[in-house]
């Protein structure tokens, strides 16, 4: 077995979607793009229902990948993510390989907790959770991040995602047809700048 961060992803309210197949395709495309930018240890793969599974090599990558997914898939469709630290492996069966190890069990517990919190009025913004060693700082960060993402406008989420993808403020300004100063102000106001700085610090 190897150590890493298992990631489980499901679509929020998938049963009520008019086109579940299109929604699944959108989620898979976003995670394929994330893998192109900074590869997962194991890229996202679709499993039963509308769930995806991936593995990050470390927590910094898992936080970046889940944050970018939250920004790109806020409600088109929305996704829920469980991050689980620990050991992971795949066991071969007659029907193919299945995940095994504490990372997967923790990821399942994390996504269940995210679902539970997301059903409450006071924490309905929660979409991501972490289970593993030393969770306090990580779960606190995820709560603040989910709250910030939920409060952003679509434009602010697009700008924040662009920064996490590595594009400069000048590039984002050109794409949006606004000034670099306007991009800077919107990133600062929305919390997008803080998300970018947090990612940089976690990788430093």
Do the beta carbons of residue 151 and residue 164 sit within 8 Å?
no
pLDDT digits (tens, 9 = 90+) for 109-129: 999 999 999 999 999 999 999
Name the region of 132 (left: φ>0; alpha: ψ -120 to 50; beta: rest).
left
According to the model, what pLDDT value does residue 91 have? Answer: 75
**What does each C-alpha distance from 63 to 14, 43, 165, 176, 193 come to in angstroms?**
24, 15, 13, 26, 15
Structural domains in the chain, CATH included, are 2-151 (3.30.70.270), 152-204 (no CATH)
Q: Where is pLDDT greater, at 110 or 16?
A: 110
pLDDT digits (tens, 9 = 90+) for 60-86: 999 999 999 999 999 878 999 999 999
CB neighbours of residue 66 within 10 Å: 27
Do the beta carbons of residue 100 and residue 190 sit within 8 Å?
no
């Amino acid at each position: 077995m190897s150590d890493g961060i298992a990631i489980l992803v499901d679509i929020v309210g998938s049963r009520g979607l008019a086109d579940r197949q299109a929604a699944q395709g959108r989620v898979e495309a976003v995670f394929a793009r994330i893998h192109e930018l900074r590869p997962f240890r194991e890229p996202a793969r679709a499993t039963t229902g509308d769930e995806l599974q991936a593995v990050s090599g470390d927590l910094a990558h898992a936080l970046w990948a889940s944050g970018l997914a939250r920004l790109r898939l806020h409600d088109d469709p929305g996704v829920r993510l469980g991050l689980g630290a620990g050991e992971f492996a795949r066991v071969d069966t007659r029907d193919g390989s299945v995940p095994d190890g504490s990372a997967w069990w923790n990821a399942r517990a994390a996504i269940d907790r995210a679902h539970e919190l997301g059903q409450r009025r006071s924490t309905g913004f929660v979409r991501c959770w972490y289970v593993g060693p030393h969770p306090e700082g990580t779960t606190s960060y995820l709560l603040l991040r989910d709250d910030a993402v939920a409060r952003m406008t679509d434009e602010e989420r697009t700008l924040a995602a662009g920064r996490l993808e590595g594009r400069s403020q000048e590039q984002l300004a050109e794409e949006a047809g606004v000034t670099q100063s306007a991009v800077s102000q919107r990133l600062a106001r929305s919390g997008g700048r803080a998300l970018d700085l947090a990612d940089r610090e976690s990788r430093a």
